[in-house]
């Protein structure tokens, strides 16, 4: 019995040494000089975390304390945050995992640290299950964010470490966490200027959501690395020689594109990996004094474009007008001597640090000696935070609706528009005159009837461009309308319009409720929640509010409002038929090839948005009224479903993709190649005669000696489809063939 006791003691001693080693590594990673008080605060936070997590382990089996130390190290080393953030990172989970309270943290570390930790603490309340818990948690966390940007910066460090250690999680949790990351946290990192964090979060997300595509691109990048390195050396040689003839101090390096950005380009342009030419960018980093930054960058630009021909439409000047996340750089795309387009980025060391490390670096250049530590605010981010606070202060009953509004603030590129007085306003690309009106003031937006664009009258829906000068026209008789939601894109405009419509709808619904009450009274039926829900289900509306509103607006004709028949379940035959049809369909699918859930076969349907086939990575999504829908993990809707409705995701897997399948599944192919006589006949021979594959449709279009086409085929699974693609390429070596989404 003694041996296990010794091994436990040895393990504990080994882990104790490893914990101290990691803690010392954290201290070495801190970029600024620590005062005695700061050292004491960090040590106190470490001791509190060590005590709170002493009996806890991660899914990997490691001591839990490794996680907060790692999060603190990311905050210090990779983002450059200061002491308060490091303290918060170390104790970000103690309130959830132990008896420590926010009051304890406040007494030990002060009000500011307590507020940040409160914002970081996971919320355990049970929310309305029609919404995503993650969405509601995110919303509550952002309420604290509007006061202190460190909440979200530390949260991003936490998410990055969780993504780096996702291998130990279950497949279901991998999909859920990776999708949330891609849906919200990566765009958030981008908005805060954290390029490295954003890129790593994106790559790690698709590593789990699109495993095959990730492996394939990664392998191809590694295979071509030596060739790319040779090309980069050859490309930068003449630039380097010319720059050395000037007084400029510089560094030139090649930066590879992320796997995520390559995959995104392949999907967006419908091209294979081999046709993605800009797999890297050349970066010129100048050591310039503040007063010479702009002129030095343009001097370097002039040298590059003297050597290589630029593409005028691909020049971007973010030095004169920086992005709202603080990004400053000159970008141009030039033609190399090998006939390939190459992106060149020109910036100073200060600009490069801000581009890589975001607002922590930005704050450093504002003369703070301790990262973002003075008040947690940063100049450029204030405007963005103000817009987020604006959305937060307009409460919505639907957390997912809020999440959509918030995401709009993250993903759009920007345009710069002027007021009649010459004031500059930043808006998302695609914003309309009405968005601009709401940006000025809620009342201006609500009363807007049109706009003058550069002294020319334009409608509310007119999309604005860079440099436009806009004057808003208003009328006291105007009020927000539902159709406005079709063309506004800013979170502020959407929130204000929805709020007005919601209040207006509520007033009309109250009148509809009174009409319905009288109907119930006339038919001598009790007006209660149970009977109202029967009407909601019968008329297929979302809620009692929608029912009352529809009655008031006469969207439900009075002759169809047969309360007695509906309440007493005298449902029409057509409805019974549709229900039995769904049941029969799901019963048939039970005999199929997918195991849904951990132990039992559950009925399911294949999602028509992505048409999964045997061999695809899949997951189940529990729908309302239609059973389980099976989606591919790289389905266009997957990220949104898994991040917003994580609790409705269910594990799903093909029973055995190696066994010959009698069933056939729909898949799509895109083909691009040199046009030739008989190309359709040749393809038909390969597909139908040689391989015995049935085609649902084939479309071929020729232009200027080339052709593009799509084919919908019925295959056994991914191996069968890969074999078909291989056969087509064997017969037509110059043709590009790849899988695409195809409608049922």
623 lies in the same domain as 679: no
Tokens of 217: 């691109």
Closest C-alpha to 603, from 624, 584, 579: 584
Mean pLDDT comparison of 232-236, 351-355, 590-594, highest-scoring range = 232-236
Asked if the structure places residue 448 within a domain, the reply is no
Percent of the chain with pLDDT strictly greater than 70:
81
Q: How far is CA 610 from CA 126, 619, 664, in A?
A: 32, 12, 15
Tell me the C-alpha distance between 464 and 629, whole Å: 40
Asked if the structure places residue 375 within a domain, the reply is no
β partners of residue 281: 255, 343
Tokens of 342: 């190459």
Asked if the structure places residue 185 within a domain, the reply is yes
Q: Helix or strand or coil: residue 160? A: helix
Asked if the structure places residue 177 within a domain, the reply is yes
DSSP 551-618: HHTTSS-GGG--HHHHHTT---HHHHHHHHHHHHHHHHHTTSSEEESSSS---EEE-TTT---TTS-E
Tell me the C-alpha distance between 717 and 615, whole Å: 6
Asked if the structure places residue 94 within a domain, the reply is yes
Query: How many residues are given for the chain?
Result: 744
Tell me the C-alpha distance between 238 and 305, whole Å: 12
564 lies in the same domain as 602: no
DSSP designation for 459: -
Least confident of 130-144, 445-459, 515-529, 624-638: 130-144
Query: Which pLDDT tens digit goes with each residue over 666-713?
Result: 888 988 888 777 788 888 888 887 777 888 888 888 777 788 888 888
Tell me the C-alpha distance between 710 and 276, whole Å: 21
Least confident of 102-106, 158-162, 232-236, 695-699: 695-699
| pLDDT confidence band for 742 (50 / 70 / 90) | confident
Q: Last residue of some domain: 626, 654, 682?
A: 654
300 lies in the same domain as 211: no
60 lies in the same domain as 100: yes
| pLDDT confidence band for 58 (50 / 70 / 90) | confident
- Is residue 647 within 8 Å of 133, Cβ to Cβ? yes
* SS (HEC) of 248-291: CCEEEEEEECCHHHHHHHHHHHCCCHHHCCCCEEEEEEECCCHH
Query: Which pLDDT tens digit goes with each residue over 497-533?
Result: 888 888 888 888 888 888 888 888 888 888 888 888 8
Burial class (CB in 10 A: 0-12, 13-18, 19+), 17: exposed
Angle at 135 between CA 133 and CA 136, to 5 degrees: 65
Query: Which pLDDT tens digit goes with each residue over 359-413?
Result: 555 555 554 444 444 444 444 455 555 655 565 555 554 555 555 555 555 556 6
Tell me the C-alpha distance between 284 and 254, whole Å: 9
CATH at 297 = 3.30.460.10
Q: Last residue of some domain: 633, 654, 675?
A: 654
Q: Say how far residue 349 (Cα) sits from the centre of its chain.
A: 29
Output 379 or 279, whichever has higher pLDDT. 279
Asked if the structure places residue 516 within a domain, the reply is yes
β partners of residue 443: none
Asked if the structure places residue 362 within a domain, the reply is no
209 lies in the same domain as 271: no
Q: Domain tally for the chain?
A: 5
597 lies in the same domain as 522: no
CATH at 108 = 1.10.3210.10
Tell me the C-alpha distance between 405 and 395, whole Å: 12
Tell me the C-alpha distance between 562 and 564, whole Å: 6
pTM: 0.67
Compute the Cα dihedral for 412, 418, 420, 422 and give only its sign: positive
Asked if the structure places residue 432 within a domain, the reply is no
Predicted local distance difference test score (pLDDT) of residue 179: 87
What's the mean per-residue pLDDT of the chain? 80
Least confident of 184-198, 308-322, 352-366: 352-366
582 lies in the same domain as 606: yes
312 lies in the same domain as 201: no
Q: What are the start-end ranges of the E strands in 278-432?
A: 280-286, 309-310, 316-317, 330-335, 341-348, 414-418, 424-428
Pairing of strands 448-453, 341-348: unpaired
What's the CA dihedral at 582, 584, 587, 591 to 10 degrees?
Answer: -120
Pairing of strands 424-428, 316-317: unpaired
CATH at 725 = 3.30.70.260
Tell me the C-alpha distance between 42 and 24, whole Å: 11
Looking at the predicted structure, is the pLDDT value of residue 590 above 50?
A: no
110 lies in the same domain as 192: yes
248 lies in the same domain as 339: yes
Looking at the predicted structure, is the pLDDT value of residue 22 above 80?
A: yes
The single residue listed with the structure tokens 């040590």 is: 43
Q: Last residue of some domain: 537, 556, 571?
A: 571
Q: Say how far residue 614 (Cα) sits from the centre of its chain.
A: 27
56 lies in the same domain as 173: yes
Predicted local distance difference test score (pLDDT) of residue 119: 79
| Positions marked active-site | 96-97
229 lies in the same domain as 275: yes
- Is residue 395 within 8 Å of 387, Cβ to Cβ? no
Looking at the predicted structure, is the pLDDT value of residue 128 above 80?
A: no
**Domain that residue 304 falls in:** 222-357
Predicted local distance difference test score (pLDDT) of residue 370: 44
């Amino acid at each position: 019995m003694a041996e296990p006791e010794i091994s436990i003691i040895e393990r504990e001693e080994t882990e104790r040494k490893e914990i101290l080693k990691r803690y010392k590594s954290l201290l070495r990673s801190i970029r600024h000089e620590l005062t005695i008080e700061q050292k004491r605060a960090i040590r106190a936070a470490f001791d509190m975390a060590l005590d709170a997590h002493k009996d806890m382990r991660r899914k990997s089996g490691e001591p839990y304390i490794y996680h907060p130390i790692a999060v603190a190290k990311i905050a210090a080393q990779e983002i450059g945050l200061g002491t308060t953030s490091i303290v918060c990172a170390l104790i970000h989970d103690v309130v959830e995992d132990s008896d420590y309270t926010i009051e304890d943290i406040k007494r030990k570390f002060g009000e500011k640290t307590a507020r940040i930790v409160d914002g970081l603490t996971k919320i355990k309340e049970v929310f309305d299950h029609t919404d995503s818990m993650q969405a509601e948690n995110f919303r509550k966390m952002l309420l604290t964010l509007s006061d202190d940007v460190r909440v979200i910066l530390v949260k991003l460090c936490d998410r990055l470490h969780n993504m780096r250690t996702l291998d130990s999680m279950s497949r279901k949790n991998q999909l859920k966490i990776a999708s949330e990351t891609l849906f919200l946290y990566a765009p958030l990192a981008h908005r805060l200027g954290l390029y490295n964090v954003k890129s790593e979060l994106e790559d790690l997300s698709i590593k789990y959501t699109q495993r095959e595509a990730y492996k394939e691109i990664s392998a191809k990048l590694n295979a071509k690395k030596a060739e790319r390195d040779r090309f980069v050396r050859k490309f930068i040689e003449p630039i380097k020689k010319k720059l050395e003839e000037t007084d400029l101090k510089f560094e030139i390096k090649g930066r590879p594109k992320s796997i995520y950005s390559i995959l995104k380009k392949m999907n967006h342009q419908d091209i294979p990996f081999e046709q993605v030419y800009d797999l890297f960018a050349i970066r010129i980093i100048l050591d310039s004094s503040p007063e010479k930054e702009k002129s030095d960058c343009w001097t370097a630009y002039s040298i590059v474009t003297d050597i290589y021909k630029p593409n005028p439409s691909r020049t971007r000047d973010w030095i004169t007008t920086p992005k709202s996340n603080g990004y400053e750089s000159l970008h141009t795309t030039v033609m190399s001597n090998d006939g390939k387009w190459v992106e060149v980025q020109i910036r100073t060391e200060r600009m490069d640090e801000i581009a890589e490390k975001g607002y922590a670096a930005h704050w450093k250049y504002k003369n703070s000696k301790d990262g973002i530590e003075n008040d947690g605010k940063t100049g450029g981010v204030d405007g963005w935070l103000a817009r987020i606070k604006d959305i937060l202060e307009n409460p919505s009953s639907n957390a997912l609706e809020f999440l959509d509004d918030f995401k709009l603030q993250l993903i759009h590129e920007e345009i710069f528009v002027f007021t009649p007085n010459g004031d500059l306003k930043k808006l998302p690309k695609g914003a309309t005159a009405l968005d601009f009106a709401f940006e000025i003031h809620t009342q201006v937006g609500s009363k807007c009837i049109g706009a003058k664009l550069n002294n020319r009258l334009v409608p509310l829906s007119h999309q604005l461009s860079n440099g436009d000068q806009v004057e808003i026209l208003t009328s006291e008789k105007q009020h927000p309308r539902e159709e406005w939601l079709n063309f506004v894109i800013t979170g502020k405009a959407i929130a204000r319009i929805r709020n007005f419509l919601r209040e207006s709808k509520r007033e009309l619904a109250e009148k509809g409720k009174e009409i319905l009450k009288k109907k119930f009274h006339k038919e001598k039926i009790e007006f209660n929640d149970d009977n109202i829900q029967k009407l909601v289900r019968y008329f297929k509306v979302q809620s009692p509010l929608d029912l009352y509103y529809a009655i008031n607006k006469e969207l439900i004709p009075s002759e169809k409002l047969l309360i007695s028949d509906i309440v007493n379940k005298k449902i029409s035959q057509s409805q019974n038929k549709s229900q039995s049809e769904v049941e029969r369909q799901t019963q048939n699918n039970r005999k199929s090839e997918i195991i849904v859930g951990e132990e039992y076969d559950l009925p399911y349907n294949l999602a028509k948005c992505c048409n999964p086939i045997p061999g695809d990575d899949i997951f189940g999504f529990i729908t309302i009224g239609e059973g389980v829908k099976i989606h591919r993990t790289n389905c266009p809707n997957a990220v949104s479903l898994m991040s917003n409705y994580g609790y409705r995701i269910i594990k799903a897997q093909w029973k055995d993709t190696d066994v010959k399948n009698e069933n056939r599944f729909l898949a799509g192919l895109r083909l691009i190649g040199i046009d030739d006589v008989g190309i359709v006949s040749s393809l038909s021979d390969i597909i139908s005669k040689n391989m015995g594959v049935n085609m649902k449709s084939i479309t071929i279009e020729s232009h200027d000696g080339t052709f593009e086409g799509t084919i919908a085929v019925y295959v056994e699974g991914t191996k069968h489809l890969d074999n078909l693609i291989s056969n087509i390429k064997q017969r037509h070596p110059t043709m590009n063939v790849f899988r695409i989404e195809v409608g049922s």
